[in-house]
Amino acid sequence: MAKLDETLTMLKELTDARGIPGNEREVREVMKKYIAPYADEITTDGLGSLIAKKTGKEGGPKIMVAGHLDEVGFMVTQIDDKGFLRFQPVGGWWNQVMLAQRVTIVTRKGDVTGIIGSKPPHVLSPEARKKPVEIKDMFIDIGASSREEAQEWGIRPGDMVVPYFEFTVMKNEKMLLAKAWDNRIGCAIAVEVLKQLKDVDHPNVVYGVGNVQEEVGLRGAKTATYKIEPDIGFAVDVGIAGDTPGISEKEAMSKMGKGPQIVVYDASLVSHKGLRDLVTDTADELGIPYQFDSIPGGGTDAGSISLTHNGVPALAITIATRYIHSHAAMLHRDDFENAVKLIVEVIKRLDRETVDKITYE
């Protein structure tokens, strides 16, 4: 494996950390470790979202840059008498990417390895073999012989189950493969934005945020935004990469390595036109590559941010990523670095006059 530099080490630690919705503590601690050196103050809201504040100009407009800490995973719901686990997806899963995949059950007594199983095809009728196995018919095999043995190992209903996958730098070292890019890359962007503003004069107060529970309804973004009361909100997340075989440009136009995605529309938000124009004008001026995207079938934390208090101009800036909501996803390092660069440059321009102009445009 390629030698990890400082940034790759952070990305590895963020993606290796386990945290489904409602269980984000481990991820929050990693993000806190990396963002603390650049923050004036670190707090959390009542649900557990991490809020790192950096003051450029006291009393200046508040700018929120938010990733989400949680990843899609599963939760143990039952242990049967033979020691097999029934489970509930937490966040969106496609049944075709789940079978025979290794998982880790995180218990109070330590980690337990499992594998997602189902009835083997050899005992199914020819008709049944043609249909994907439904999630309700899957189970997790931990190698236990009974319910009592599973319980002795610490397994309890409510325990989180996370995909097992090791962070990998591909042969093309710009290509990074890991679990939970959705959305540890957003958390990493928030860290890097604060880092690059360390000794920079900026006319505002910036909040680097790791929201909880995005995958189950953009929940942590609501509470974190209530606490911060921002003037401007950016959600940083993953988007769809349309550069694999079989995807037409009509379905998804974005390509990995061609710049961050500016999301003009999704199921949770019509992006704020004034903010969108400022971001794209800044990118054009500085020659930072970007792509437009729309996601009619999904939302981001920008949706929740925009609807808090009396409304917040909000925009989602995303990274084109392959194979999200599966055990392993892939993204391009240049897109991450250009997203950070673009957000930092926009923040430098968000003084009170500009924010007021955007808000009332």
CA distance 205 to 56: 5
Vertex 219, ends 215 and 223: CA angle to 5°? 145
Beta bridge partners of 178: 329
Torsion over CA of 343, 344, 346 and 348, rounded to 10 degrees? 160
CA distance 165 to 279: 35
Q: Is the dihedral of CA 324, 327, 330, 335 positive or negative?
A: positive
* Beta-carbon count within 10 A of 7 CB: 16
Provide the token pair at 195.
């880092």
Exactly one of 13, 24, 71, 214 is catalytic; name it.
Answer: 214
Provide the token pair at 76.
């143990």
> Is 214 a residue of the active site?
yes
Provide the token pair at 277.
């124009």
Provide the token pair at 250.
């009509």
Provide the token pair at 108.
């109070």
Question: What is the set of active-site residues?
Answer: 214
